[in-house]
Structure formats: C-alpha cells, structure tokens
Structure 1
Amino acid sequence: MKALLKCIPILFLCTYILTRGINMCTHSKAQKLIAGLLFSAAGDIFRTTSTQLYHFYGDSMFGLTHVFYIWMFGAEPLNLLAGFYLMAIGTIYLLFLNRCLWDQKPIQWTTYIYISLIGTMAWRASAGALFNQHWSWIKLSGTIGGMLFMVSDFTYAVSMYCFPASNFGLIAATYYAAQMLISLSAVNTKSQVIKK
C-alpha cells in the first residue's frame, strides 16, 4: 500500500501526458519521458521495501530513469559551462558521501555510477537555460526539475547512508516537483525565447 501511494503521483503524470493528445509515435520526447516515469515508479516500489538488496534494485531503476531523461533532453546545446558547474557540485557531494560509504565497497561504486548519471541528467536538463543567453520558460522548467531531482536524491542518500538529514516530506516534495517540471518541459514544445 505504501508503494502504491508513492507511485500514484507518477502514474498521474503518465496519465496527464497520455491525455494531452500527443502522438506517441512521433513525439520521441514523450516516449522517453513515459519510460523514465515508469522506471521511477518501479524504483519507488523497490525503495519502499526494507531489505538492502531491494534498495539496490530501486537505485538501478532510478539509474535507468536518468538514462532515459538524458536521452530525452539530448546533446544540444552542449553548454560545457553548465556541465563543469554541476560536475563541481557533484564532486563536492561525492567527497562528502564517500566518508559514509568508505567501508561499503559495493554500494560505494554503485553510488559513484548513480551520481554520474543524475549529474549528467541535470546537466542535459539545464543546458538550455543555465548560463545561456537564449532561454525559455520551458527550458527553465527542465532546469529547475533537474536540480530538484539532484536535491531529492542527494538528501535521500545522506539520510540513508550518513545521518538523518531530512524527513520524508522534503525528499518527496522535491522529487515530485522535479518529475512534474521535467514532464512539463518535455511535453510543452512551444516556448518563447527570452533574450537578456
């Protein structure tokens, strides 16, 4: 029941996308978005179980979510400055988290992979708006969504492996807001470019 309740907002997002009249055969972003949302719902199911093995499965599902989101956001524009900025944030976080995972080698290496994936996803989500003169509200929505996903998962990892950093409310609020903003940025293709 707890797993089902966690999945309901994600399933609502899937329903929202499917009822917008988007042609799923031609709208490749919507296809990748739906796949990412479904993998994140599977990750929520695994993460609600108590054993460490199921937490690993849950993190694997979220890793696949980020792979689909990276694919959805694409490689253009490249925006290396945003990439370096997010890499610096990820490195600081990794050094902090490494102290908590020093004696847990299998989890330590999977955490490195996961941080690389979510960092890349946040980079691709923010490439159109962060340090970019030509941005739009839709691209800004994706940027904020990617950043909130990082905040949610980083807080979750610190609470899981280091010390209780937050209650479930903050993690859930940032996670669901991130999924909503990423979904809105993917399905709304028309946006007015705002020049500074």
Structure 2
Amino acid sequence: MQPPWHHLVPFLASVAASFIWFVPKPTPSIGSMVCKCLPVILLVMYLFCLEGWSHTENQLVLVALILSAFGDAFLVFPKSLGLPGVVAFGLAQVAFTCAFGFRSVSWVIGIILYLTVFAVFFVIMILEAIPSHYRIAVPIFILYGILIATMLWRALDRFRLQELLLERRLCTSAGAIIFVLSDLSIIFLQGGGLIPQPYSKFVTIATYYAAQLLITLGASEKFWLQDYPNKMDHEKTGNRGLCE
C-alpha cells in the first residue's frame, strides 16, 4: 500500500480556492478569513483524524497548526489585529520547536541561524525606512525571528534521528525551510516590492501552505506506515519529540 495521498484532496482544493478568491483581492473580510484559514484547519482535521491524540509530537504539531490558523485569521485584518497575529505565529513556532525536540543538538547550526536572523534584521533596518508607528514592534519581530530560527534549527537537527523514517525527516526539514522562506518573502517580496502584487502574495501563500503540509506529513506516523507496515513497532519506539 502507498501513502494515502488522495486524502489530501480537500486540502488541495481549499488551497486552490484561496488562490482564486483571497490572493487576487486580500481585502479584510470574513470571506477572506475563511479562504485563508480553511487549508490549515483542514490539515488540523486531517492530522487528528489520522493520528488522534496519539503521541507528543503529533499533539504539539496540532497545537501549532491551530495557533497558525488563529494567526492567519488575525493577519487578514493587519491594521487592527496584526500584532496578535504575529504573537499567535510566535507561539506556533514554540509548539513546532517542542514537537521537533532536542534529542540531537548541533550548536554550530544554531549559532549560524541566530547570526543570520540578526544579519537579516540589520539589513532591513538599513535598507527599509520603518514607519515610526511600527518601530515599537521591532523587538517583537526580532523575537519572532529568533523563534522561527529555533524551529528551523530543531527541524534540521531532527533529520539526523535515524530511528525516524527518512520521508518524515525530509518532510519536516523541508517544511521548516519553506516556512522560513515564506516569512522572508513577506519582508523582501511584499514589503520590499521586488515583484509586483499579486505575484508576491501568491509566493507567500503558496510557500506557507506547502510548509504547513510538509510539517504535518512529517508528524504523521500512519500516513507513511501505509507504505511501511513492517516498521510499525520501530516507528512507535523512535518517535518522541518533546522538549527535554
């Protein structure tokens, strides 16, 4: 048996709906909020129906997805709910980090990622004139950068856990990398105006949904064990992704 890819059809359909109705006209409205949040909500439902509340990594990824959905809803109304949206996504990164765990730690990767975060913010401060009413939020955005860098660090270190299936490790690492690229596209493509709207919005949304899907698949045991039934016991003993 192969992994049940056809079960992801509702998610893919909701992504297509978001591209059709939200990306071209991302106006603040209930309809826009539904279009933007629905794909992540479907991932929550899919992961819960497939895995239930079975193991710690799965539980924390579910929490992170729910927080991401709240962040999506808030950021549809950026002028009034932009800051709560960033906070929700920051908490989601904490949940993802705890899900990936600290069983294998490479301090070199961590230091490189943290230095990169400060370098990116240094470039932003130099190249982009930040309006005065946004400057008070700069420390919050720096903190978010540290949180997402930590999430990426833990995802990359998780790749070395040989007891996990290669497919799961690849999905988690790729999802974390694409998540970071999605956030960077907000800064440099949309904020910096490197490419015109709605193309920059399309890149951000497409990479965001792809990242959430890959991280969800990386957290799923049963999805991949459809193709590896003889590894069930091995997988169960190997998957412990909590903060230690």
The question of 1:175 aligning with 2:208 is answered yes
Report the TM-score when normalising by structure 1: 0.85
Give the AA of the match of 2:55.
H
Q: Which residue of 2 aligns with 1:10?
A: 40
Q: Which residue of 1 aligns with 2:49?
A: 19
The Cα offsets for residues 4-62 of structure 1, whole Å up to 9 and x where unpaired, read as 10111101111111221x240x41111111111111111111111141x4111111110
**Identity among equivalent pairs (%):** 25
Give the AA of the match of 1:30.
N
Larger radius of gyration: 2
Count of residue correspondences: 186
Distance 2:118 2:212 in 1: 24
The question of 1:80 aligning with 2:107 is answered yes
In the TM superposition, what is the alpha-carbon distance from 1:159 to its structure 2 partner? Answer: 4.8
Q: Which residue of 2 aligns with 1:40?
A: 68
Gaps of 5+ in 1: none
Distance 1:174 1:141 in 2: 14
Listed as ranges, the matches of 1:1-196 within 5 Å are 1-20=31-50, 22-24=51-53, 26-51=54-79, 53-99=80-126, 100=128, 101=130, 103=132, 104-129=134-159, 132=160, 136-159=166-189, 162-166=191-195, 167-188=200-221
In the TM superposition, what is the alpha-carbon distance from 1:93 to its structure 2 partner? Answer: 1.4
Residues 37 and 73 in structure 2, CA contact (< 8 A), matched pair in contact too: yes
The Cα offsets for residues 94-130 of structure 1, whole Å up to 9 and x where unpaired, read as 211223348543121111101000000111111123x
Report the TM-score when normalising by structure 2: 0.69
In the TM superposition, what is the alpha-carbon distance from 1:158 to its structure 2 partner? Answer: 3.4
Residues 43 and 61 in structure 1, CA contact (< 8 A), matched pair in contact too: yes
Residues 151 and 176 in structure 2, CA contact (< 8 A), matched pair in contact too: yes
Distance 2:111 2:169 in 1: 19
Residues 36 and 68 in structure 1, CA contact (< 8 A), matched pair in contact too: yes
Which structure ranks higher in relative contact order (CA pairs < 8 Å, sequence separation ≥ 6)? 2
The Cα offsets for residues 48-84 of structure 1, whole Å up to 9 and x where unpaired, read as 1141x41111111100100100111111111223223
Gaps of 5+ in 2: 1-30, 232-244
Distance 1:18 1:110 in 2: 31
Residues 64 and 93 in structure 2, CA contact (< 8 A), matched pair in contact too: yes
Residues 67 and 92 in structure 2, CA contact (< 8 A), matched pair in contact too: yes
Q: 1:157 to 1:37 in 2, by over 3 A?
A: same
In the TM superposition, what is the alpha-carbon distance from 1:169 to its structure 2 partner? Answer: 0.6
In the TM superposition, what is the alpha-carbon distance from 1:87 to its structure 2 partner? Answer: 2.5
In the TM superposition, what is the alpha-carbon distance from 1:88 to its structure 2 partner? Answer: 3.6
Distance 2:52 2:185 in 1: 36
